[in-house]
């Protein structure tokens, strides 16, 4: 699979996840944390996706090419690290960020 297709598939999978889980997990959690409804800042969302695409193109794909035998392990490990940092940071700074959300996300 070429890099462009990989980026498209990744972004589509993430957007489907966020769209389908938003009402079940995120809206309530972030409303509880902020004491107001969640509002998306599209600029920062776009920047976050650009960093994720950069990590995919500059870390995941080169790692998987170098260690082709462990291709999916490289993607899984980098993804796990990125999302873990995000969720553990949220849990560290937001008192009402639940362990359930850390684990599920």
Tokens of 13: 């999978």
* Helix 42-55 and helix 3-21, axial crossing angle in degrees, nearest 10: 140
Tokens of 47: 């920047």
Tokens of 55: 């990590």
Encode pLDDT of 12-51 as tens digits. 988 888 888 877 788 888 888 888 888 888 899 889 889 9
Q: What is the pTM (predicted TM-score) of this model? A: 0.74
Neighbours of 66 (CB within 10 A): 10
Confidence of residue 88 (pLDDT cuts 50, 70, 90): very high
Cα-based distances in Å from 20 to 15, 16, 23, 74: 8, 6, 7, 26
pLDDT (0 to 100) of residue 1:
65
């Amino acid at each position: 699979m070429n890099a462009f297709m990989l980026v498209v598939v990744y972004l589509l999978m993430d957007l489907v996840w966020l769209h389908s889980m938003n009402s079940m997990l995120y809206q309530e959690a972030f409303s509880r944390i902020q004491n107001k409804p969640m509002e998306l800042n599209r600029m920062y969302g776009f920047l976050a996706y650009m960093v994720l695409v950069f990590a995919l193109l500059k870390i995941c794909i080169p790692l998987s090419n170098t260690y082709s035998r462990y291709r999916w392990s490289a993607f899984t490990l980098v993804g796990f690290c990125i999302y873990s940092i995000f969720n553990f940071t949220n849990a560290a700074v937001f008192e009402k960020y639940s362990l359930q959300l850390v684990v599920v996300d």
